[in-house]
Amino acid sequence: MTTTTISLRLRLFLAFGVILFLALGVPAYYLHQNLGQTSEREARDGAVRDLRSVEWMLSSGSFHDLEQVNEALRELAARMDIRITFMTLDGRVLTDSGVTAQRVESLENHLGRPEVTQALGGEVGVGLRYSDTLGQELLYAAMRTQASGVLPEGVVRIARPQSQIRKSLDRLYGQAGWVYGLGVVFAFGLVSLTSRQVGRAIASVAQAAADIGQGEPGKRIRFSPSTELTPLVVAFNNMVERIESNMQTIVKQKMESEAVLNGMKAGLIVLDGNGRILRGNYAAQEIFPGLSTFAGHKPMELSLLQDLQDACDAALKKRLEGDFSQVGVMVSLAGGRNFDVSIVPIKGDAELGVIMVFHDITEIKRVEQIRRDFVANVSHELRTPLTSIKGYAETLVGIDKYDPEQTRSFLEVILRNANHMNTMLDELLQLSRLEHGKLRLDLVSVEPASAVYSAWKSCHPLSKNIEFTSELDASTPAVRANFEQLVQVFRNVFENAIKYVPEETAVIRVHGHTSGPELVVFIEDNGPGIPAEDQTRIFERFYRVEKDRNSSIGGTGLGLAISRHIMANHGGRITVQSPVPETGIGSRFIITLPLAGQISEE
C-alpha cells in the first residue's frame, strides 16, 4: 500500500495558509507600499508649507539684530517642532534653532547640501537623510530668500524629524498586524478544529480496526465530522458489530474447547505439520512438566523416547499420503508411569499435523501385575501345604504296617498344613469383606494400651527372647475404634516384627503421641529393615520382601494388607519407615487413629 508522508491535517493547513496569504498578504503589501508613499508625499508637502511660513515670518518681521532673529526662530521652531537654519548664499550658517549662538560659528558649511543646492537654483529643495548633529533621520526643505532688515539674501532651511511619521506608521502597522494576526489565528483555529474532527473520526476508525486486529472489541465511532463521512461511519459501526458477534462466538467456542481439553484426564499434545510441538492441555503439562518451554521442539526432545518420535513421524507420513488412521504406541516414562499413546492425524489444516493423546494405564498395569502376583502367590501358598498334605497322605496310604508314633507325626503335619490353608482362606475372606465394606464396624472408645497388651499377649508364644517395651499406659488418650480389629492390626505388626528381629538381641518398642485430633502410635524393631523399593508394596496381598519365599518364615502374607484396610475403615492409616531415623536400623510402623469423640475425615 502506498502512503504519503504529509498528513491530511497538514495539507489542510498548507492549503488554507496559501489562501489566507493571497487574501490578506497581497492587500497588506499594497497598503504598506501605498501608505508609505502617501505619508512621504504628505510629509514633503507639510515641510514645504512650514518652510513658506518661516520664510514669510523672516521677510515680514522687523528684527534689530541677529540675536533677536535667533530668539524668534527658536520660539517658532519649538512651537512647530522643527529645526530652522538660515545661511548665506555661500553656505555659512548665521543662525540655527537647534544649537546655541556660541556653537553656530562651529557649524560646517552647508553649501554642499542637496536641498541647499536646489534652493540656490531657484527651486524649493527637499531631501531626506540622516543628521549626524541630531543623530536621527530628518526631512529637509530649503528655499532662497531676499534680504530683509538685518538678514542678508540667503537660504532658509527647515528640518522635520521623521520619527513621528515613523511612529504613526509603526503604530498603524502594529494595529493592522494585530488584526491580521488575530484573523490568522482565528482562521487557523477553525481549520484546526475542522481537521481535528476529521482526524478524530479517521483515528477512531483506525483504532477500532486496530482493536479488532488485536482481538479486542472495537470502539464505536460516536460522531461524524461531516455528512460525507456519515455512510462510512455507519458502515464501519455495522461491520464492527458483526465482527464482535463473530468474535464472541469464536471465543465462546474456543473456551468450550479449552474447557473440554483441560478437563480431560488424558494428556493431549498438538504437533504442527513439521512434527514440532505447538501446545498441550493441563493433563499433558502434568505428565511433562515444563511442556510450554518445549514449544517448537520435537517430541523426542521432550520425552527422550525414540519409539514415540518414530510413531509421530509415521503418523505425519501417513497424513501426507492421505491416510488419516491413528498410530498407537505404548511408552513408559520416568517414575514407572505407563501410557497408551494414540497419534491421530488432523484433517483440513495445513499448519496442524497430528494430535498425541496420552492415556494413563499405570493403574491398569499395576492392577494387572497385582492380579498376576496374586494368582502366583495364591498358587504358591496353596501348593506348599497341599504338596505336604498330599505327600504325607500318599506315604500313609503306601504303608502296610503303621507305626503309631510315625502315623501321629504324619497326621500332625497334615493337620498343621490344613490349618494353615484354613487360616489363609479365612484371611482372604476377611480381606474381601473389608475391601467391599461388608464387615460391620462397631466403633467405640478404646484404650490403645489395652489393645497393645492384648495383641502382645496373643503373640507371646512366638516372641522368642524379645525385649518388649510399651510406653502406652492409662494416661494415653482413648481412640475411636473397634477393639478386636485394632488388636488384630497390632498383632499383625507384632508378628511381622517377631519373624525378622535377631534371636539374641531382639527389641520391640511401642510409643506414641497425639497430633491434633489423632493419636499416632509407633511400633519399632531392630530387625534388618525393609528396602526402600519394597516399602510401597508390603501392604499388598502375599507380598514378601524375601524373594526366595523362605519357608522358615511363616505367615500367609495377608496380615499387612488386612491391617491397611482395617485402618482405612477406621478413618486412620498405617505406613512404614525404614530404617528408624534415631537408630539407623530396623523398621518403624506408624499407626494413626482418630481420638475418641473426633469425627473421622473419611
Determine the pLDDT at residue 511. Answer: 93
Residue 83 lies in a domain: yes
Residue 104 pLDDT > 70, yes or no? yes
425 in the same domain as 447: no
Residue 409 and residue 515 share a domain: no
pLDDT of residue 435: 63
User: Which one is predicted more confidently, 201 or 524?
Assistant: 524
Of 124-138, 279-293, 329-343, least confident by mean pLDDT is 124-138
Q: Read off the C-alpha cell for 151.
A: 538678514
Residue in the block written with cell 519373624 = 499
Q: Are 69 and 57 in contact (CB under 8 A)?
A: no
CATH number of the domain that residue 372 is part of: 1.10.287.130
123 pLDDT tier (thresholds 50, 70, 90) = confident
CATH number of the domain residue 277 falls in: 3.30.450.20
Residue 591 has pLDDT above 90, yes or no: yes
Helices (H), 399-523: 404-435, 448-459, 483-500
CB atoms within 10 A of CB 48: 16
**pLDDT reading at 461 higher than 70:** no
Our measurement of the distance from residue 303's CA atom to the centroid of its chain's CA atoms, rounded to an integer in Å, reads: 29
Q: Are both 477 and 571 inside the same structural domain?
A: yes
Asked whether residue 85 is domain-assigned, the answer is yes
Alpha-carbon gap, residue 302 to 296, rounded angstroms: 11
What is the rounded average pLDDT of the residues 65-80?
Answer: 82
Q: In whole angstroms, what is the distance from residue 358 CA to residue 356 CA?
A: 6
Provide, rounded to the nearest whole percent, the portion of the chain with pLDDT above 90: 6
The answer to whether residues 59 and 147 belong to one domain is yes
Q: What is the pLDDT of residues 469-489, one digit of tens each?
A: 899 888 889 999 888 888 888
* Claim to verify: residue 487 and residue 572 sit in the same structural domain: yes
Q: Residue 269 has which C-alpha cell? A: 499434545
Structural domain count of the chain: 5
- 493 and 395 housed in the same domain: no
In this structure, of 149-158, 337-346, 363-372, 560-569, the range with the lowest mean pLDDT score is: 363-372
Confirm whether 194 is domain-assigned. Answer: no
Same domain, 321 and 419: no
> Range of 474's domain?
440-594
Kindly state the DSSP code that residue 447 receives in the 8-state scheme: -
| 199 in any annotated domain | no
> What's the pLDDT score for residue 601?
40
Which residues are paired to 267 by β-bridges? 358
Give the largest CA-CA distance in the chain: 203
The backbone torsions φ and ψ at residue 565, rounded to the nearest 5 degrees and listed phi first, read -70, -35
pLDDT at 333 over 70: yes
Calculate the average pLDDT of the chain: 79
- pLDDT class for 286, splitting at 50, 70, 90? confident
Domain identity same for 326 and 377: no
Q: How large a percentage of the chain has pLDDT more than 70?
A: 81
Asked if residue 289 has a cis previous peptide bond (ω within 30° of 0), the answer is no
What CATH number has the domain bearing residue 455?
3.30.565.10
Q: What is the pLDDT of residues 486-521, one digit of tens each?
A: 888 898 888 888 888 887 888 899 999 998 899 999
Same domain (yes/no): 563, 461: yes
Residues 558 and 485 reside in one and the same domain: yes
Domain final position from 317, 339, 358: 358
Single residue among 377, 406, 433 that ends a domain in this structure: 433
b/e map 135-156, b = 16+ CB within 10 Å: eeebbbbbbbbeeeeebeebbb
Closest CA to 158 of 45, 69, 43, 50: 50
> So what's the pLDDT on residue 36?
65
Asked whether residue 136 is assigned to any structural domain, the reply reads yes
Confidence of residue 386 (pLDDT cuts 50, 70, 90): confident
Domain end position, chosen among 324, 339, 358: 358
| DSSP codes, 10-29 | HHHHHHHHHHHIIIIIHHHH
Do both 349 and 391 map to the same domain?
Answer: no
pLDDT band at 371 (very low <50, low <70, confident <90, very high): confident
pLDDT at 428 exceeding the cut of 90: no
> Does one domain contain both 459 and 505?
yes
pLDDT digits (tens, 9 = 90+) for 543-578: 777 644 444 455 566 778 888 888 888 888 999 998
Q: pLDDT digits over 176-223, tens only?
A: 777 777 777 777 777 777 777 777 767 766 766 676 566 566 566 666
The listed range with the strongest mean pLDDT (93-97, 183-187, 378-382, 557-561) is 93-97
The answer to whether 281 and 270 have CB atoms below 8 angstroms apart is no
Q: Which residues pair with 141 in a beta bridge?
A: 126, 158
pLDDT of residue 600: 44
Predicted TM-score (pTM) of this structure: 0.42
